[in-house]
A and B are shown apart, each in its own frame.
Chain A
Amino acid sequence: MSEMTISGEYFRGIIKDNPIFALVLGLCPTLAVTTSVENAIGMAGAALFVLLGSNIMISALRKHIPPITRIPMFIIIICTFVTIIDMVMEAYTPPLYKALGIFIPLIVVNCIIIGRAEAYAIRNNVKYSIVDALGIGTGFLIVLVIIGTIRELLGTGAIVLFGFKLISIPIYSDSPATFMILPAGAFMTIGVLMALVNYNRIRKLKRGL
Chain B
Amino acid sequence: MSKEMGVVLLKLVVLSIVAATVLGAVYIPTQEQLKIYQEEQRELALIDVMPLAENFDPVKSGEEILYYRALDADNNLVGYSFFRDQSGSQSVITLAGGIDTDYKVTGIKIMSHAETPGLGAKIIEPTFTDQFKGVAESDLLLSKNDGAIDAITGASVSSQAVIDGIQAKINEIKANE
Residues of A within 8 A of B (CB): 64-66, 68-69, 72-73, 76-77, 79-80, 83-84, 87-88, 90-92, 94
Contact status B15-A77, CB under 8 Å: yes
Contact A91 B33, CB 8 Å, known A80-B19, A83-B23, A84-B26? yes
Q: Is the CB of A68 within 8 A of B8?
A: yes
Interface size class, chain B: 10 to 19
- Contact among A65, A84, A90 for B22, CB-based, below 8 A: A84
Q: Indicate if the CB atoms of A69 and B19 lie closer than 8 Å.
A: no
The distance in angstroms between the C-alpha atoms of A90 and B16, with both chains bound, is: 23
Query: Cα distance A92–B11 when bound, in Å?
Result: 34
Whole-angstrom distance between the alpha carbons of A73 and B9 in the complex?
11
Please indicate the chain A residues that have their CB under 8 angstroms from the CB of B22 in the complex: 80, 84
0/1 per residue, B18-61, Cβ < 8 Å to A?
01001100110111011001000000000000000000000000
- Cβ of B29: which chain A residues have Cβ within 8 Å of it? 91
User: Which of A66, A73, A94 meets B37, CB within 8 Å?
Assistant: A94
Expressed in whole angstroms, the minimum distance between the Cβ of B111 and any Cβ of chain A is 13
Q: Which residue on A lies nearest to B7, using beta carbons?
A: A66
Nearest chain B CB to A103 CB, angstrom units: 15
Chain B neighbourhood of A92, CB < 8 A: 30, 33
| Nearest chain A CB to B123 CB, angstrom units | 17
Tell me which of A76, A91, A94 contacts B19 (CB under 8 A): A76
Q: A87-B27, A88-B30 are in contact. Are A69 and B16 (CB under 8 A)?
A: no
Is there an interface contact between B16 and A91, defined as CB atoms closer than 8 Å? Answer: no
Check B30–A91 contact: CB distance below 8 A: yes
